[in-house]
Amino acid sequence: MSPIKLLERLIQLGFVLFGISLIVFLMMEATPGDPVEIMLGDSLASAEQKELLRRDMGLDRPLVARYLHFVGNALGGEFGQSFFHRRPVADLILERLPATIELTLVAMVVAVAVAIPLGIIAAVHRGGLLDRLASVGAMLGVSMPGFWFGILLIMLFAVRLHLLPVAGRIGYSHEVPAVTGLLLVDSLIALQPASFLAALGHLVLPAVTLGLAMAAILMRVTRTAMLEVLSQDYMTFAEAKGLSRRRILVRHGLKNALIPTVTVAAIETGSLLGGNMIVETIFAWPGLGRLVVEAIFARNYPVVQACVLFYAVTYVLLNFVADVLYTVLNPKVRL
Amino acid sequence: MLLGRLLVPAAAALAVAAGAVAATGTAAQELRIGYSADVPTLDPGNHRNRFAEGVILNIHDALVARTDDMAVVDELIEGWTQIDALTYEARLRRGVRFHSGDEMTAEDVKFTFDRLTKEGFMGGQTSPRKSLLGPLADTEIVDPHTVRFHLSAPWPILRAYLPFQQIVSKRFVEATGTEGMATHTNGTGPFRLVEWRRGEAIILERFDDYYGGAPDLPPVGPAGVERVIFRIIPESASRVAALLAGEVDIIDNLPVTDIPVVEANPATRVMTTNGTRSFFVDLNNAVPPFNDVRVRQAANMAIDRDLIVERVLGGLAVPLNGLISPQSYGYNADLPPWSYDPDRVRALLGEAGFPDGVDVTLDVDPANRENAEAVAAMLTQNGIRTTVQVWELNVMDATWREENAAGRNMRYRSWGDGALDPVGIFDPVLRTGGRGNFSRYSNAEVDALLAAAESETDVARRSRMYQDAQAIVREEAPLLFLWLPRDIYGVSARLSGWRPSPRGVIKIHDARVD
């Protein structure tokens, strides 16, 4: 990607982010009722607190001034106070973020680990039994709602077979010193293999539930890409050279087929964040998704506002990364 | 081949992890609770949240406690005297220690109540619990083990409201600060806080130097279990699964639909108690058709409460003929129930000038939609043709706050009152201009009775006043009275000594696990 093109994309990105901030800001403005009452949600506040908040929100100032104030605060990581928790919103989000990142990353790994081998096998055995099974599986994976599939897994692996825990992030006898906030990493840093395994065990069901839909999509993408690659002349040429089939598939096939898969994976990671709300609620996972759901139920608008902004920005950035990644991996493509 | 190379090690790793997790059984003497929501704070003075109260009550004790039949007994005090209409004296129990080891004195008690009642006492903020202490104006230290409460107006129910205020340590709060109090605790209760993993769990351990609790609430002594874990599991299907899998011993908010599963499992059972939240429908008394008492009475007779309770609520609710719980102080048990009477409904509607029935709307928020629809269906069947309108709660609230509720007809609603005293529910909902009076009901006689009851110090006379007010309201039918749901818990068979509290909180002191 040429520097000018990159700059162009960055400017576009700026506009998108501006639009997002505007929408999130107006979301609050457009909600009927007294903004102060809305901000306070179901929490009880004294008259002084309401007055203080009214002043802080600058409700007497014009809309544009308030918007600039909001953006300025947001850029500085200042999202106001959650009156329900009586703590700053930024603290609440930071506290919940590591759990969500850990779950998302593991779900992504699960999805990739399942999707790529299956996609390749389906392509290589095109039309065969394995291909058809994989296609049906992908269809199921995409169409099964997460809340249903999650409960199903819990009933089977936790209630019936007693193999895995129903919910939670780690057993309560484990004390893992926080370094990164990711329990898998922290338990390794602290050399606590038992804690690592406990954390991993708690991750299995939520990560599989969360990663399932992504795995299905990635599988289809890999299969299609692989089919296209398999029909290329260089593959026939490689075969003609007498290279082993495995070498052909991995060195010449997979390398090229992975380009669309990687970009789709980057974009899909954004949608994993949306899936988090459901999966985190089912598995009692103490992450951001659940914070949002709880905030919505408690009408805790400052938290909802900050989280929506966070999700939107993350999604847009991931899309940007996917675009860039695509050009890097495939020099033939120009943005 | 490739698939095998990738998947076999992954599967092996998962199997090992699974084995490790499954092997971690419940430690001895550890009680786990599947709790449907995380707590916003652990500061006893800075919340109005039932989930927070449920945890805080196990860490902190109060001056007095409530028995299951709602009698008030001494907890951190040994004696209670009324000096005059505006002054009460409490003698504190000696030798009570906070978890820090400090002894509880009158200083701490005064500090606790100052923190709750004085404007701006919590770092400029006023406690949201202030209104729970009515006209309490000041707390005075008489000697290190005696305090006096001074009221600005007679308020005979002061003692009945003290179980809701837990005593904190002055030294600790001053050192910790208001913000720190959200996450740090130092109480006199049977359990101390070990760790609050936010969004995930609250871990408590037994306080071995516990003074024992209220003598009139046996067993007295340290708590029955060593460790308690409130596990936050918001999704009810997962909470039920955790109970069935043996991961927790008590779950709250068991859905009616899951009762058969829990009952069918030999290792689990269901426990229930009457709740504290009354459900009703606001009838807009300010505009037609419900400005006519005959239409309001007709609405009350157009509902077969027993049928809805049986079919929709799984039999787990008590039909109400008024606003307050039958368990409540001042409940009038002599008033007849509103029985289902379609003929009488038709006659009353005819008298009121609606021989062909009447068209009305019923407002409801999404959470209560299903039950509101059941009510609407029965009203419609009997000539009160009801359209259900689902609102966002905020918008609905704002609309009903407008002049004459913006001419809306009905609203499905509830009001909770953990104190089970009419002053906490009857007064706000039915007094003229009350903060929860959205039906615009106004009756001078009722208002006079409620005003008199507020300062009546004779318990029996005060009860009589509320009963008289209920008799008037029974006839005037300002609301469409519905029911009081039971609180439903799922518990494991290894749990003993625990009973659900009618206050809707989980107290663990008496619980034991085998």
A293: domain CATH number is 1.10.3720.10
Residue B15 confidence class, pLDDT cut points 50, 70, 90? very low
More confident residue, B392 or B29: B29
- A51 with A172, same domain: the answer is no
Write down the number of H helices and E strands in chain B: 15, 20
The predicted model gives A249-277 an average pLDDT of 81
Indicate the number of domains in chain B. 2
**A159-198 residues touching B, CB cutoff 8 A:** 159, 162-169, 171-173, 194, 197-198
CATH number at residue B209: 3.40.190.10
Token pair 């095109």 in the structure block, residue: A126
- The strand ranges marked E within B294-344 are 317-319
Same domain for B147 and B22, yes or no, is yes
* Among chain B residues, CA nearest to A32: B395
Does residue B154 carry a pLDDT above 90? no
Q: What was the pLDDT predicted at B25? A: 43
**Domain boundary residue among A33, A49, A75?**
A75
Gyration radius of chain A's alpha carbons: 24
Short-list B353, B377, B344, CA closest to B291: B353
Chain centroid offset of residue A115 CA: 17
Q: What is the CATH number of the domain that holds B285?
A: 3.10.105.10
Contact B194/A at CB under 8 A: no
CA distance B127 to chain A (A): 8
In terms of DSSP H, where are the helices of B162-276? 170-181, 236-244, 259-264
Residue B259 placed within a domain: no
Mean pLDDT estimate for chain B: 91
Domain co-membership, B406 together with B503: no
A269 and A202, same domain (yes or no): yes
- The pLDDT of residue B16 is 46
Which of A159, A208, A293, A297 to mutate to probe the B interface, most B CBs <10 Å? A159
Q: Tell me which DSSP letter residue B256 carries.
A: G
- Give me the pLDDT at residue A145, please: 85
Number of structural domains chain A divides into: 2
Q: Are A189 and A199 in contact (CB under 8 A)?
A: no
Calculated CA dihedral for residues A322, A325, A327, A328, nearest 10 degrees: 180
For residue B337, is pLDDT > 60?
yes
Partner B contacted by A250 (CB < 8 A): yes
The yes-or-no verdict on residue B13 having pLDDT over 60 is: no
Q: Does residue B292 sit in the same domain as residue B318?
A: yes
Note the ipTM here. 0.85
The structure tokens listed for A309 are: 């902004």
**Range with the largest mean pLDDT of A193-202, A293-302, B416-425:** A193-202
* Mean pLDDT on B65-88: 91
Domain that holds residue A187: 91-329
Phi, psi of B38 (to 5 degrees): -75, 160
Cα separation of A265 and A219, whole Å?
A: 10
Q: Which amino acid belongs to residue B121?
A: F
**C-alpha distances out from residue B244 to A24, B230, B241, B424, Å:** 42, 17, 5, 38
Q: Which of A158, A201, A246 sits opposite B245 (nearest CB)?
A: A158
Closest CA to B76 of B148, B167, B147: B167
- Cβ neighbours, 10 Å, residue A203: 26
Does A205 fall in a domain? yes
Cα gap A332→B84, rounded to integer Å = 92
* Residues B366 and B403 placed together within one structural domain of the fold: yes
Q: Of the ranges A151-160, A172-181, A265-274, B109-118, which one carries the lowest mean pLDDT score? A: A265-274
The encoded tokens of residue A180 equal 């990164």
Given an 8 Å threshold on Cβ–Cβ distance, is A117 in contact with B235?
no
Tokens of residue A188, six digits? 């390794």
Kindly report, residue by residue over A43-81, the tens digit of the pLDDT.
556 666 677 777 766 677 788 888 888 888 888 888 887
Nearest residue on chain A to B38, alpha-carbon basis: A294
Burial status of residue B410 (CB atoms within 10 A of its CB: 0-12, 13-18, 19 or more): buried
Domain span at residue B320?
Answer: 277-485
The larger pLDDT score, comparing residue B24 to residue A229, is at A229
Q: Which residues of A, range 36-95, sit inside 8 Å of B by Cβ?
A: 37-38, 43-46, 48-49, 84-87, 95
Task: Band the pLDDT of B239: cuts 50, 70, 90.
Answer: very high
**Residue A4 belongs to a domain:** no
The pLDDT score that the predictor gives to residue B4 is 44
Query: Residue A39 has what pLDDT?
Result: 62
Better-scored residue on pLDDT, B345 or A228: B345
Same domain, A240 and A182: yes
* Per-residue pLDDT at B19: 44
Q: Is residue B295 located within the same domain as residue B245?
A: no
Percent of chain B with pLDDT over 70: 95
Residue B474 and residue B353 share a domain:
yes
- CB contact A223 to B (< 8 Å): no
Cα–Cα distances in angstroms (integers) from residue A194 to residues A111, A175, A202, in the given order? 25, 11, 12
Confidence of residue B252 (pLDDT cuts 50, 70, 90): very high
pLDDT tens per residue across span B429-456 = 999 998 889 999 999 999 999 999 988 8
A and B: number of Cβ contacts within 8 A? 161
Cβ count near A97 (within 10 Å): 15
| Domain-located, residue A175 | yes
Closest to B112 in 3D by CA, of B25, B219, B188, B183? B188
Whether residue A274 sits in one domain with residue A233:
yes
Q: Cα separation of A169 and A167, whole Å?
A: 7
- CB under 8 Å to A249, separation ≥6 — which residues? A120, A124, B2
Angle at B363 between CA B358 and CA B365, to 5 degrees: 160
- Neighboring chain B residues of A283 at a CB cutoff of 8 Å: 238
Q: What is the pLDDT of residues A12-44, one digit of tens each?
A: 888 988 998 888 888 777 766 666 766 665 555
- Residue B404 in domain: yes
pLDDT at A29: 73
Rounding to the nearest 10 degrees, give the CA dihedral for residues B363, B369, B374, B375.
-30
User: Mean pLDDT throughout B270-281?
Assistant: 92
> Do B300 and B449 belong together in one domain?
yes
Q: Is the pLDDT assigned to residue A297 strictly greater than 80?
A: no
